[in-house]
Structure 1
Amino acid sequence: MAAPAPAQRLNGHNRISTQALTSLARTAAALALDVDANDVRVQWTDDDGLLALSLVSPIKVPPLRDVARDPARVGAFGGSIRDRAVVAKAQILATVTQLSGAQVSRVDIRISGARISEGGRVQ
C-alpha cells in the first residue's frame, strides 16, 4: 500500500467566524452539561494570543426529593455538580479544539441554575 501524497500547500488563509465558534461552544457545552444549547451563554476573550472560553449555563440535576430518599441517585447523573463541571470543562475544551482547530487556552464555567430531570444520564 502506497503512502498518501503530501497535502498540497495553498496560499491564503481560513478563518472561523466568532459566530461559528460560539455555536460550536454552545453545542459542546449543552451536550456536556445535559441542557438545551439555547440556555448556554458564551463569551470569548484573548488569553495571550489564545482563546479563553467563558460559559454560563444551567446544569441538569435529579429532583432533591429523590436524592434525599436515595443519595446514590446523584451518581446516575455523573456525580456532584462540581465534579460534572470539571469533567465538562475538559470535554468542551477537547471538542471545540478538535472540531475548530482553534487554540483554546481554558474553559471557565459558571453554573447559573438547575434543570430538574426525572431521568438519569445514560452512560
Structure 2
Amino acid sequence: MSTLAGHNRVSTQALTSLAQAATAEQFGVRPADVRASWADDAGLLALRVVSPIAVPELDSVAGPEDVAAAGGSVWERATAAKGAILRRVSGLSGAQLSRVDIRVAGVRPTTSGRARVL
C-alpha cells in the first residue's frame, strides 16, 4: 500500500463528539449531557469533561455490597473512567492525549436499581 501526499486532520468538533460519546458510555448517560473541552498540554491534548453519572436509586442501596454491585462509588467509577476514556478517544481518533480530567456534575438515577457499568 502506498502513502498518498497530503494530510489528514480530525476537527475539534469530531474530537469533542467522540469524547462526549466515550464519557457517556462510561457513565451511563446521554452524550448530550456531557460537556468536553480541550487544552494544549506540552504538545499533547488534555481533555476535560463535565458529566452527570448514572447511579442506582438511593432506596435500592442498602450497604457496601450494593455499591460494589453498581460498579463502585462515584469516586471509584470516575477514577477508573479516566483511563478508559483516554484509551477510547486516543484509539478511535489517533490523537495523543496526555490526560483526562473529570468533573462529575450531578447524578442520574437508574430505574433498574444498578448503574450501567461498561
Q: TM-score, normalised by structure 2?
A: 0.92
Shift of 1:77: 1.8
Q: Max radius of gyration: which structure?
A: 1
2:93 aligned to which of 95, 100, 105: 100
Q: TM-score, normalised by structure 1?
A: 0.88
Q: Given the alignment of the two structures, is residue 27 of structure 1 paired with residue 21 of structure 2, yes or no?
A: yes
Structure 1: stretches of 5+ with no match in the other structure: 1-6
Alignment size in residue pairs: 116
* Aligned counterparts of 1:17 and 1:62: Cα–Cα separation in 2: 36
Q: Which residue of 1 aligns with 2:37?
A: 43
* Aligned counterparts of 2:10 and 2:90: Cα–Cα separation in 1: 12
Shift of 1:9: 2.1
Structure 2: stretches of 5+ with no match in the other structure: none
Q: Once superposed, what is the RMSD of the aligned Cα atoms?
A: 1.4
**AA partner of residue 89 (structure 2):** V
Shift of 1:122: 6.1
**AA partner of residue 28 (structure 2):** D
Shift of 1:87: 1.2
* Aligned counterparts of 2:3 and 2:30: Cα–Cα separation in 1: 40
Q: Which residue of 2 aligns with 1:59?
A: 53
Q: Which residue of 2 aligns with 1:77?
A: 70
Deviations 1:65-87 (A, max 9, x none): 221x3442212221011110011
Q: Write out the 4+ residue segments of structure 1 that deviate beyond 6 Å after TM superposition.
A: none
Q: Which residue of 2 aligns with 1:4?
A: none
Structure 1 vs Structure 2: percent identity of aligned residues?
A: 55
